Amino acid sequence: MRPLLLLCLATSACLAQAKPGPVKAGPEIIAEASAKLIAALTEAIAKDGPASAIGVCSQRAPEIAITVGKAHGVTLRRASEKPRNPKNDATDAEKILLTAFAADLEKKQPPKPQSVTNPDQGTTVFAPIVISNPLCLQCHGAPDQDIAPPTLAAIRKLYPGDKATGYKTGDLRGLWSVTFPAKP
C-alpha cells in the first residue's frame, strides 16, 4: 500500500484523478442539501411559524436527503448523538467522527470534513454540523426560552423521544455523511 501511496502523492496524474473525487464532491453535495433544507425551513417558518414548520421539516428533511443523494449517486444522511428522529441516531463510526469534531471545537479549532474509505462500502465523507444560525435555536435551543411553547408542543407530539434541545450557538449539533458507493 505504502509505495503506491507515495507514487500517488508524487504524480500529478494521481492528483488530477483525486480532484473530482469524494473529498471535493462530498462537501459540495452537503452544501447543496444544507442550502435546500435551510431554504425550506426559512420559508415554512415565515409562512406559518416554527410550530407548523416542524411538520414541514420532518417531511422535507428526509426528502431532500434522498433527492440530492440520488442526483449525485450517493447516500446522504444527518446523524447526531442526541437525535430528534431516532432514525438519525449516530452509528458507531459516526460517533467516532462526532467525538473528533467535538475535540476540535473544544480546542477552538474549526472541525474539518473527514473521509473514510472502506473497500466494500465505498468512501464516506463526514462533515460537522455546528449551530451557527440563530434560526436553529427556535427548534433546538433551550425549551421555553428559545423554543416557543407551541413549537415545543409540536416537537413533543411528533417526536416523543426527542433529545435535540438545549443547544447554543457554536455547539456541535451532529454531522452530515455522504457515502460514495464502492466501484464494482
Contact track, ligand HEC, 100-139, x by CB under 6 A: -----------------------------x-x-x-xx-xx
| N-terminal to C-terminal alpha carbon distance within the chain | 20
CB of 152 to ligand HEC, least distance (A): 11
- Nearer to ligand HEC by Cβ, of 104 and 171: the residue is 171
CB of 136 to ligand HEC, least distance (A): 3
**CA pair distance 180, 184, nearest whole angstrom:** 12
Dihedral sign for Cα 174, 175, 176, 179, please.
negative
Return the closest-CA partner of residue 110 out of 130, 89, 133: 130
Q: Which of 30, 68, 80, 97 binds ligand HEC (CB under 6 A)?
A: 80
CB of 115 to ligand HEC, least distance (A): 19
Contact between 97 and ligand HEC by CB under 6 A: the answer reads no
What are the φ/ψ torsions at residue 102 (nearest 5 degrees)? -65, -40
- Nearer to ligand HEC by Cβ, of 74 and 155: the residue is 155
By CB under 6 A, the residues from 17 to 76 that bind ligand HEC are 38, 41, 45, 50, 53-54, 57-58, 61-62
* Conformational region of residue 68, where left means phi above 0, alpha means psi within -120 to 50, and beta covers everything else: alpha
Count Cβ atoms below 10 Å from residue 10 Cβ, excluding itself: 10
Q: Which amino acid is at 15?
A: L
Cα 68 from chain centroid (whole Å)? 13
- Nearer to ligand HEC by Cβ, of 22 and 50: the residue is 50
Interacting residues with ligand HEC (CB under 6 A): 38, 41, 45, 50, 53-54, 57-58, 61-62, 78, 80, 83-85, 88, 129, 131, 133, 135-136, 138-140, 164, 173-174
